[in-house]
Amino acid sequence: MTTVPVDEGIFTWPAAEPQLIGSRCEACGIVTFPSQSSCPRCASTAMAKHLLPRHGRLWAWTTQEFPPPSPPYAGPTGADFEPFVIGYVVLGDQIKIETRLVDVTPSDLSPGMEMELAVVPFRTDDGGNEIMTFAFRPVA
Amino acid sequence: MAANGMDVAIVGVGLHPFGRFPGVSAIEMGAIAVQRALADAGIEWRDVQFAFAGSYEVDNPDAVVALLGLTGIPFTDVYNGCATASSALTLAANTIRLGEHDLGVAVGMDKHLPGAFSADPQQYACPSWYGELGHFVTTKFFGMKINKYMHDNGITQDTLARVAAKGYRNGARNPNAFRRKPLSEEEILASPMLNYPLTQYMFCSPDEGAAAVVLCKAEHARRYTSTPIYLCASTVRTRRLGAFEVHSPWLPIEEAPSPTVDASRAAYEQAGIGPEDVDVVQLQDTDAGAEVIHLAENGFCADGEQEALVADGALEIDGRLPVNTDGGLIANGEPIGASGLRQVHEVVLQLRGQAGDRQVPGTPRVGYTQLYGAPGTAGVSILSR
């Protein structure tokens, strides 16, 4: 089976220690994810590629207990759907990232919990490729 | 006259009930709402000098003229997310303030399929993978926002159930509501969990309906009615960098208040009053948590005080601060284009003393409405007798 990322250019992979690929405004310093061509704070177009920290702390979360409307959702539906946990993780003093949270039980989550980036299987496409996505999981 | 913002009056309101109406088009519902608003104002469609129409599903809601009369007036269609109706109202009021016309109509109509709203993420400036992964879900944002808010401010899930139960209870008193069966807090908590801590019965549903208002230059109001309701403020605001908003793959470290806070402050300033002067309130309750958060965002309490306000019954029709007296979105559902004008319709009835079984006791003098939704847009209006 071939493994492919859900999109090119959003995380470094394959890599022993993958990182999310964002951008940083060279004028005001704001960090975005994914990368974008102009700055949402100061409108500068001087945006440089910026790799994000791999560790962060949990900021907010909820559960997704029903299959999201398809399209755009492309993951398993019907009997194959499994509820998942989703939240925001604060990466240092740079940015908050919205992400799936894996290897967690919702009742165990608490704000400020330390999390780390993981690249995990998301779905298998019609061609038999395993589509990989970024996620965060608690630091063991 | 024309004290603070008292230059535009609402002299007619009309509603097509909210719910599901197989075989009735959004345009037909819109026409019925306008005809009822015209009758309420005692005027004919040929008297109307301009109009604004809001809809999500209908590209050109001004096609309602096929049923009202092709009079050639300037008739502009607006869509602005969940604040569509506020936008139509604000534009209509400003047209009068500009002196361009003296008498106009704002109408909203929609006819949605059941189930959560969806769209192409790229139309919201989001990458396609955001939708593919299942992140492009509005209900999930509401779950996340209230879950964090509850943790930070000591609000319990029981309070969410009480707020939803109030919505259904008030809806049962409203002949135009979609959900007219009271539900107990236990039933609400026991319904399927959709996005923790929000269960199915804590959410509103997309549905169908239409609402319309007739507005005029305030000094002409008594030509049409003995009980004009003045539109003291009507504002629309969008998210600032740092606001915690729906459909955000990332957020900056810096934090900013929600656009509701900005729209609310601007509205109070325009009206020259404060939240303590408001007697009846309509808030965007996409879910019970949104009503809780919006109470604070609109200045009606401090963060965390909602727990006691709800427990004490302060938000009930006979309470100190009646909120969503017609059942709100929870009992009426959300036909996006019409939702905010449904709120205005309710406040106008309350201020006229015509709200029947759900009339707020005493003589409410000032009413307030607020809309909020994707992609981070809010609208507020303040009305007074």
Find the DSSP H helices in chain A: none
Give the pLDDT mean for A54-77: 96
Burial class (CB in 10 A: 0-12, 13-18, 19+), B158: middle
Average pLDDT over residues B167-179: 98
Nearest to A111 among B151, B192, B252 (CB): B151
Chain-chain contact of B121 with A106 (C-beta, under 8 angstroms):
no
**Contact flag B253-A95 (C-beta cutoff 8 Å):** yes
Matching residue, tokens 């970024």: A134
Q: How confident is the model at residue B117 (pLDDT cuts 50, 70, 90)?
A: confident
Among B86-95, B120-129, B239-248, name the one with the lowest average pLDDT: B120-129
Chain B residue nearest residue A64, CA to CA: B195
Q: How confident is the model at residue B82 (pLDDT cuts 50, 70, 90)?
A: confident
pLDDT in the model for residue B115: 75
Kindly report the average pLDDT of chain B as a whole number. Answer: 96
Q: In which domain, by residue range, is A111 found?
A: 54-138
User: What is the per-residue pLDDT across B183-224, written as a single tens digit (0 to 9) for each?
Assistant: 999 999 999 999 999 999 999 999 999 999 999 999 999 999
Angle, helices B138-153 vs B288-297, to 10°: value is 60
**Average pLDDT of the residues in B135-139:** 94
Distances (CA, A) of B311 to B56, B161, B162, B319: 37, 11, 8, 11
Which residues from chain A sit within 8 angstroms of residue B133, using beta carbons? 6, 73-75, 100, 122, 133
B119 touches B128 (CB < 8 A)? no
User: Cα dist. B321→B281, B318, B367 in Å?
Assistant: 7, 8, 11
Taking contacts as CB-CB distances below 8 angstroms, the residues of chain B near A75 are 132-134
To the nearest whole Å, the CA of A89 is away from the closest chain B CA by 9
Q: Is B375 on the interface with A (CB under 8 A)?
A: no
ipTM score: 0.97
Rounded to whole angstroms, the Cα distance separating B174 from B166 reads 13
Q: How large is the average pLDDT for residues B2-13? A: 78
Residue of A6, A88, A106 lying closest to B251 (CB–CB): A88
Tell me if A136 sits within 8 A of A20, measured CB to CB. Answer: no
Distance from CA of A94 to the nearest CA of B (A): 6
Q: How far is A140 from chain B (nearest CA, A)?
A: 24
Interface probe, candidates A98, A107, A110, chain B, greatest B C-beta count within 10 A: A98
Positive or negative: CA dihedral B226, B227, B230, B234: negative
Q: What is the SS3 assignment for A84? A: strand
pLDDT at B2 over 60: no
Residue in B128, B144, B198 closest to A60 by CB: B144
Question: Is the pLDDT assigned to residue B1 strictly greater than 80?
Answer: no
CATH tag, B8-115+202-384: 3.40.47.10
Is A96 in Cβ contact with B250 (below 8 Å)? yes
Q: Above 70 in pLDDT, residue B5? A: no
| A30 lies in some domain | no
Is B118's pLDDT higher than 60?
A: yes
Which residues 6+ apart lie within 8 Å of B62 measured at CB?
B51, B53, B75, B76, B77
Q: Give chain A's domain count.
A: 1
CB-based contacts of B10, cutoff 8 Å, min separation 6: B213, B214, B215, B228, B229, B230, B231, B344, B348, B383
- Check A64 against B137: CB less than 8 A apart: yes
Q: Which residues of B touch A72 (CB under 8 A)?
A: 118, 120-121, 128, 130-132, 136
How far is residue B284's CA from residue B298's CA, in Å, rounded to a whole number? 11
What is the average per-residue pLDDT within B220-234? 97
Test B118 with A71 for CB contact under 8 angstroms: yes
What's the pLDDT tens digit per position in B103-112? 999 999 999 9
Chain A residue at shortest CA distance from B123: A72
What does the angle CA B370 – CA B278 – CA B147 come to, to the nearest 5 degrees? 45
Q: Please, which pLDDT band fits residue A14 given cuts at 50, 70 and 90?
A: very high
Task: Return the higher-pLDDT residue of B118 and A103.
Answer: A103
The whole-number average pLDDT for the span A40-65 is 98
Report how far residue B315's alpha carbon sits from residue B208's, in angstroms, rounded to the nearest whole number: 26
Radius of gyration of chain A (CA): 16
Considering only CB atoms, which chain B residues are within 8 Å of A111? 148, 151
pLDDT in tens, B242-299: 999 999 999 999 999 999 999 999 999 999 999 999 999 999 999 999 999 999 999 9
Per-residue model confidence as pLDDT tens digits over B31-81:
999 999 999 999 999 999 999 999 999 999 999 999 999 999 999 999 998
